[in-house]
Amino acid sequence: MKRVFSGIQPSGDLHLGNLLGALVNWSKMQEDNDAVYCVVDLHALTLPQEPDVLRKNTVELAQLLIAVGIDPERSTLFVQSQVPQHPQLAWLMECTVSYGELSRMTAFKDKSNRDTTKFVSAGLFTYPALQAADILLYDTDFVPVGDDQRQHVEITRDIAERFNSRYGETFVVPEHVIPEAGARVMDLQKPDRKMSKSEGESPGTVFVLEDPKKIEKKFKRAVTDSESDVRFDIAEKPGVSNLLSILSACTGEAPEDLASNYEQYGPLKTDTAEAVIELLRPIQARFAELQSDPAETQRLLRVGADKAQVVAGEVLARAKRNIGLLA
Ligand code: TYM
């Protein structure tokens, strides 16, 4: 059986990009694989966090993952900081990746350049080494992620190959799995930017737990363009193409085929909003049930962490042995 691993940060609220880009595949891939899914709270520390908020977000994100369909009986679902092998292997990864490689990561460049007066932690820079540790600790074959994580999986492969060639076969070299539709959900107001957990009002971001009326309004106000024909053309018509991609991810139909059903933007916006609201309805209902019992969620996460440590411990021991550290 193949091993699948992926992670998600407990920072901000879960949005439609996370769901369509990654979580739909997480849920699907647990059916035929040994799936390991992680709430990566250590990654969230790369930006300053409010302790109580981080704790609450971590448990609620785990509940949302369960609400989306991750089955903690079938998959291993855990919190990164409860498995100490992650930061331990991360050091070995930091010593296997170069400063130059880390400098080329677009996620780092974006986040560190956004506001030059802001504190930029060293963790934000070395973040891909921790991510490589997350993935390699489980002898992972496949990593389901959205398109923005492609570069981080690539660098993980480079690190694994370098380590293997220096110290002998140690790690499985993983492959990313990126969905056809929904790989890059764009901001509804700024369709040249990916949808993200931006701060403030966020008129361009649709949250998984958002009220249906608000969702409808956000789609109604989505930026399109001054023409009126509906075509799937990302370069020329990014706003319309984004709506078609979202509808495609919800319905399973190709965006080009969907485009031929519409002559105007209005009905496309209404149908996309409706499809998203229907997709989110059962998730919101299930989350409301789970939210009433955070102690049970924390118990499930503890069980997940114990299960994860069995594999993580073996792989870390292998890496330590091969690199020359004492057992
Ligand atoms: P994070 O928490 O930012 O996002 C979680 C997942 O959501 C996907 N995603 C999107 N997909 C499509 N359109 C968007 N607008 C969009 N925004 C986010 C991301 O690609 C991701 O799959 N570094 C990772 C977390 C991580 C990880 C790992 C992932 C840590 N260790 C090991 C895989 C394997 C991150 O910050 O994702």
Which residues are known catalytic residues? 111, 194, 197
201 shares its domain with 107: no
Kindly give the distance from the C-alpha atom of residue 289 to the centroid of ligand 1, in angstroms, as a whole number: 26
* Pocket lining for ligand 1, CB < 6 angstroms: 5-9, 17-18, 21-22, 40, 43, 131, 134-135, 143, 145-146, 148-149, 152, 183-185, 194-196
| First CA to last CA distance, the chain | 29
Regarding whether 178 and 270 lie in a shared domain, the answer is no
- Same-domain check for residues 157 and 9: yes
pLDDT at 199 (0 to 100): 63
Domain of 241?
A: 197-288
In a domain, 132, yes or no: yes
pLDDT in tens, 305-319: 999 999 999 999 999
Query: Does pLDDT of 77 surpass 90?
Result: yes
279 and 147 in one domain? no
CATH code of the domain in which 238 resides: 1.10.240.10
User: Which CATH number is 114's domain given?
Assistant: 3.40.50.620
* Number of domains making up the chain: 2
Residues 236 and 312 in one domain: no
Residues 145 and 90 in one domain: yes
Residues in contact with 159: Cβ distance below 8 Å, sequence separation at least 6, in sequence order: 93, 96, 97, 129, 132, 136
Does residue 188 belong to any structural domain of this protein? Answer: no
- What distance in angstroms lies between residue 150's CA and the mean position of ligand 1's atoms? 9
Ligand 1 atom closest to the CA of 185, numbered from 1: 13
What is the whole-number distance in angstroms between the Cα of residue 326 and the centre of ligand 1? Answer: 35
Residues 159 and 282 in one domain: no
Smallest CA separation from ligand 1 atom 7, residue: 18
Predicted confidence at residue 187, as pLDDT, reads 97
Using the predicted structure, report yes or no on whether residue 236 has a pLDDT greater than 80.
Answer: yes
**Mutation pick for ligand 1 pocket among 3, 5, 6, 8 (CB with most ligand atoms within 8 Å):** 8
Dist. CA 145–CA 179, nearest whole Å: 8
Share of the chain above pLDDT 90, in %: 92
Q: Is the pLDDT of residue 200 over 70?
A: no
Do residues 14 and 124 both lie within one domain?
yes
Largest CA distance in the chain: 68
Residues 67 and 201 in one domain: no
